[in-house]
Amino acid sequence: MELENSNRPAKSPSIPLTPHTASQSAGLEARLGFEHSYAGLPPAFYALVRPVPVKQPQILRLNRKLAEFLGLDLEAVDREELARLLTGSGVTAHDGRLLAMAYSGHQFGQFNPGLGDGRAALIGEVIATDGKRYDIHLKGSGPTPYSRGGDGRAALGPVMREYIISEAMHALAIPTTRSLAIAATGQPVLREDILPGAVLARVAASHIRVGTFQHFAARGDTANLKVLLDYTIARHYPTLADTGSPALALLEAVIARQAELIARWMSVGFIHGVMNTDNMTVSGETIDYGPCAFLDAYDHYKVYSSIDQQGRYAYGAQPTIAQWNLARLAEALLPLIDADQDRAVALATETLGGFSTIFNRHWLKRMGAKLGLAEAGEDDRQLIIDFVSLMQKGASDFTNCFAALAELAEGGEADAGPLAALEGWRDWHTRWRNRLEAETAVASRLRRVNPLYIARNHLVAEAIAAGEGEGDFSVMDRLLEAISQPFTRREGLERFTLPPKPEEVVHKTFCGT
């Protein structure tokens, strides 16, 4: 392995999106129209790494719709050449080197000043059919200077897991990184077992994390912090460039996006599982699917992740943790918010205070819609909380309790549905019916917001077992078909709506790294 740090001079921070062209060759990336704006940033932002070619690159799954959206004509590309590129072996840009991004971050509350892409790399950016710039990133592409003793590789199981769940989140209209392809390496990786190795080609609005800002702040490198600020604003929040304090405006904008994102997670029963600051984007996309899970039985305190022993990242803790992470972003931005640091702290503190208000507004709106309300107000909060409390009391299936409301709204019997046997149900049902009198088109609203098909943990486990065990990806394909239209009931997909049987329940999820 050859590890190299770029020593090119820093580009002017005033033109942060200027593509770096010095070392592009006419390889596949160039033919696909890849750009390299991140590589135009100063050397401290990344390391360039000569890839270690893998034994037998092979495309296992290709997300054709996503490729089309990105404007990538992958069908025209030779499969072997594509497999070499998407395992990292065949990169030609940067003189045949992968770009591993530098970042830091708080992991379970402890600051680690040197994380970075330890098993991932950026191979380029594309301007998609929506006119926006997206990163094409490989996860599992081999060791980098940031590997900290790890092998830089990924096992097929976790790669399939991220592919399925990120695509499920996208179908639920939740901002997320997406999955373009799974490529096998033909090499085993050693975890608790010997497992088949694979690489995920991940697509993201960018891979800039709260931890990327922390990286430069922790080094007292205000010059590069400013470069990162300018680049982030140019890429994600261009209208903020001309505001009085772009750093404060960025903080405010990220708070708004994250508050909305977490409210959306809560509304589908999603638990991220590892909300470290390096796993939180400034774009507002969900990133880094590890031990994440969707709730089956509702439990506000639910934890699936095997490494989260204190319940730091439990379902109900997510809003508080998001705010904690954003406070770390605020700290990192302080030198750029105001030259007078006391004033910077006052401004940042006030801005952070806005998180709860914005989160609560989104939570009320989304959870209200899940009960059929066009516009939930503060007066509706108790009705929502009481429904959630019923689910908690009955350990009832989160997805199916909400899905059952559409039937009830259409005149279904009050004593039907997953909550009907619970004490307090009748009373709640009466209050709900009374509240609905002020509403129209309730059933269609309920069907639009309450999914039928989610990436249930036992279904994901089943798909992974088939792929990992027998190389059978048809189970994954069928699951993807169900969850790609989560709100549309279709014949033959009933089993995807069922909660797990007791013996199927997944109790723990694993990072798998």
Of residues 57, 90, 116, 158, which one binds ligand AMP by CB under 6 A?
116
Q: What minimum distance in Å lies between the beta carbon of 264 and Mg ion?
A: 20
Distance of alpha carbon 294 from its chain centroid, rounded? 13
Q: If you ran DSSP here, which 8-state letter would residue 107 be given?
A: E
Element counts in the chain: helices (H) and strands (E): 17, 13
From ligand AMP, Mg ion, none, interface partner of 151 (C-beta below 5 to 8 A by class): ligand AMP
**Residue 468 interacts with Mg ion (CB under 5 A): yes or no:** no
Whichever of 37 and 279 has its CB closer to Mg ion, that residue is 279
Sign of CA dihedral 244, 246, 249, 251: negative
CA angle 390–395–398, rounded 5-degree value: 80
From Mg ion, ligand AMP, none, interface partner of 217 (C-beta below 5 to 8 A by class): none
Closest-CA residue to 279 (of 288, 271, 270): 288
**Residue 115 interacts with ligand AMP (CB under 6 A): yes or no:** yes
User: Binding marks (x or -) toward ligand AMP, 194..213, rule CB under 6 A?
Assistant: --------------------
**Residue 147 interacts with ligand AMP (CB under 6 A): yes or no:** yes
If DSSP codes are grouped into helix, strand and coil, which group holds residue 99?
A: strand
From Mg ion, ligand AMP, none, interface partner of 486 (C-beta below 5 to 8 A by class): none
Measure the CA dihedral 263/267/268/273, to 10°: 40
Residue nearest to Mg ion (CB): 288
With tokens 């993807």, the residue in question is 480
With tokens 């990220």, the residue in question is 254
From Mg ion, ligand AMP, none, interface partner of 275 (C-beta below 5 to 8 A by class): none
Q: If you ran DSSP here, which 8-state letter would residue 42 be given?
A: -
Residue nearest to ligand AMP (CB): 150
Answer yes or no: are the C-beta atoms of 98 and 108 closer than 8 Å. Answer: no
What angle, rounded to 10 degrees, do the helices at 210-218 and 318-337 form? 40
Whichever of 210 and 408 has its CB closer to ligand AMP, that residue is 210
Of residues 29, 35, 162, 288, which one binds ligand AMP by CB under 6 A?
288
CB atoms within 10 A of CB 122: 24
CB atoms within 10 A of CB 378: 8
**Residue 243 interacts with ligand AMP (CB under 6 A): yes or no:** no
- The question of whether 472 is a catalytic residue gets the answer no
Q: Mention every residue, 6+ apart, whose C-beta is less than 8 A from residue 186.
A: 54, 55, 56, 57, 58, 197
User: Binding marks (x or -) toward ligand AMP, 484..513, rule CB under 6 A?
Assistant: ---------------------------x-x
Q: What minimum distance in Å lies between the beta carbon of 200 and Mg ion?
A: 13
Six token digits for residue 130: 């929506």
From Mg ion, ligand AMP, none, interface partner of 51 (C-beta below 5 to 8 A by class): none
**Residue 304 interacts with ligand AMP (CB under 6 A): yes or no:** no
From ligand AMP, Mg ion, none, interface partner of 119 (C-beta below 5 to 8 A by class): ligand AMP
Whichever of 306 and 485 has its CB closer to Mg ion, that residue is 306
Whichever of 159 and 348 has its CB closer to ligand AMP, that residue is 159
**Of 259-318, which residues contact Mg ion (CB under 5 A)?**
279, 288
**Residue 117 interacts with Mg ion (CB under 5 A): yes or no:** no
**Residue 118 interacts with ligand AMP (CB under 6 A): yes or no:** yes
In angstroms, the CA 396 to CA 300 distance is 12
Six token digits for residue 444: 């269609």
**Residue 146 interacts with ligand AMP (CB under 6 A): yes or no:** yes
**Residue 124 interacts with ligand AMP (CB under 6 A): yes or no:** no
If DSSP codes are grouped into helix, strand and coil, which group holds residue 391?
A: helix
Strand partners, 47: 100
**Residue 151 interacts with ligand AMP (CB under 6 A): yes or no:** yes
Whichever of 190 and 223 has its CB closer to ligand AMP, that residue is 190
**Residue 291 interacts with ligand AMP (CB under 6 A): yes or no:** no
In angstroms, the CA 24 to CA 485 distance is 40
- Contacts with ligand AMP by CB under 6 A: the residue count is 19
- Active-site position among 117, 135, 230, 278: 278
Of residues 53, 109, 113, 150, which one binds ligand AMP by CB under 6 A?
150
Of residues 40, 290, 319, 418, which one binds ligand AMP by CB under 6 A?
290
Q: What is the CA radius of gyration of the chain?
A: 23
Six token digits for residue 55: 């034994």
In angstroms, the CA 207 to CA 227 distance is 15
Closest-CA residue to 391 (of 500, 261, 302, 508): 302
Interacting residue ranges for ligand AMP, rule: CB under 6 A: 115-120, 146-147, 150-153, 274, 278-279, 288, 290, 511, 513
Q: Indicate which residues carry an active-site annotation.
A: 278
Interacting residue ranges for Mg ion, rule: CB under 5 A: 279, 288
